[in-house]
A = this chain, B = another copy of it.
């Protein structure tokens, strides 16, 4: 797969990526989009969420710090995106941790067209209907085959499914893509999962006709930058700084040499 061409599309088109996301990592979601050369915007008021979606190239929903009000804004935004054919990415952050979270996630998934459902292993397993053990927003243990879960959920919902982890699994359009870039240090930084979702929104916003491929390319670029950043880091905070800088400077040679997408 020609990963770099998807990065080039982001830098050429500079898509506006609208977010309704959580209050913990909202800055980092915006900055990762901007570091890739695109334009983030975050506007959650129900009175303008749909209008802001209408001028965007992609919509990122993340239920990390959901409230009933935010969920309503997410529905309004997703409906606006659906009407205009703007791709919608939904991070089912924390699914499985509480009944409220599971119910609201299903309301969104059942009530609007979600183009990409994204989560860690236990979150996606939960959305796929399995009973899971969770630890808040960190991944819990899942015994079932993750690739099968992704493929089945993708087929059932006619959407792309992304499970992030040491091996990222992307199932969509009957295809299965795997990304093996990344580094365990990512798990020591709060927000790497949320940023991954914003990256997917950014790449899909620039290449909406190739959703699974754009999602995989975005994850690969992000995680290649993470691999480079780790080499310069002494811990999670220096890693974070280098991650943004490495994303900003990522070039074709690096992407070609390091990409592990299959």
Interface residues of A (CB under 8 A from B): 16, 18, 22-28, 30-31, 34-35, 39-45, 47-48, 51-52, 55-56, 64-68, 94, 97-101, 134-138, 188-191, 233-238, 240-249
Contacts and interface: CB of A to CB of B under 8 A. Distances in A.
A22 B68 CA distance: 19
A187 to B, nearest CB: 9
Contacts of A247: 235
B43 A65 contact: yes
Contact of A190 (B18, B34, B234, B235): B34
B31 A94 contact: no
Nearest to A69: B67
Copies in the complex: 3
A136 B100 contact: no
Nearest to A19: B24
A217 to B, nearest CB: 21
A58 to B, nearest CB: 12
Most chain B Cβ neighbours within 10 Å, of A136, A138, A249: A136
Secondary structure of the A side of the interface? mixed
A42 B52 CA distance: 26
A95 B217 CA distance: 34
A190 B98 contact: no
Nearest to A73: B67
A30 B246 CA distance: 24
Contact of A40 (B134, B190, B237): B190
24 contacts: A16-B136, A24-B42, A25-B27, A31-B237, A34-B189, A34-B190, A41-B97, A41-B136, A41-B137, A43-B94, A43-B101, A43-B136, A45-B65, A45-B66, A45-B100, A48-B101, A52-B98, A52-B136, A55-B135, A235-B248, A236-B244, A236-B245, A237-B243, A238-B241
A39 B100 contact: no
